[in-house]
Chains A and B, each alone.
Chain A
Amino acid sequence: GQNIDQPTEMTATEGAIVQINCTYQTSGFNGLFWYQQHAGEAPTFLSYNVLDGLEEKGRFSSFLSRSKGYSYLLLKELQMKDSASYLCAVRDGDYKLSFGAGTTVTVRA
């Protein structure tokens, strides 16, 4: 089976940095995705990592360590609109994704 763990909730202040960790134990590994999901809306793609290291996209960065089964999503210069759920998903070797339960980030003024 697949086991993907991420914290349930995080709170941070506008302008600050938040790091959302994701650990996984899967039968295979063929890439890790991060999605953002605002309340009542569909998930939208943020980032993809398949090799070890850091991928940067503007205010968002994602890191992967395959040997440790670990990834994080870094959100910098937090804005109120970043309040959302962030989903970690692992592709375990074929076309399917296994999702974590999601981390709800609340940004306070």
Chain B
Amino acid sequence: NAGVTQTPKFRILKIGQSMTLQCTQDMNHNYMYWYRQDPGMGLKLIYYSVGAGITDKGEVPNGYNVSRSTTEDFPLRLELAAPSQTSVYFCASSKKQESQPQHFGDGTRLSIL
């Protein structure tokens, strides 16, 4: 049972480069989320989606884009990487019911140099 799978696990980018962080889940969850986690800080919501074709901004969306063409996949795109985007990125998914917890992937550790 894979749950939420994120790729890659580690990546180093140069300033100005672009990349896509992949996230896929096999639990048929409607809701998916992208967070970033910086040292000493809580998880900050970047974007979220309540179903295929529907996405919305979270707390820190600037510099990122997302799409949700299928229930399973929710990729996060960085167009022009900046040092401030150095962070650990977590993808999560959950069922529709309010009491259901979010399930997290193992994270992508991204460094922008």
Contacts and interface: CB of A to CB of B under 8 A. Distances in A.
B20 interface: no
Contact of A95 (B43, B50, B90, B106): B50
Contacts of B42: 4, 87, 98-102
B40 interface: yes
A44 interface: yes
Interface in A12-59: 30-31, 33, 35, 41-45, 48, 50
A29 B31 CA distance: 19
Contacts of B101: 33, 35, 45, 48
A91 interface: yes
Nearest to B104: A42
Contacts of B68: none
B84 interface: no
B3 to A, nearest CB: 9
Contact of B99 (A43, A50, A98): A50
A96 B48 CA distance: 8
Nearest to A4: B42
Interface centre among B41, B42, B94, B98 (most CB of A within 10 A): B42
A74 interface: no
Given A4-B42, A87-B43, A41 B99 contact: no
Interface of B: 31, 33, 40-45, 48, 50, 58, 90, 94, 98-99, 101-107
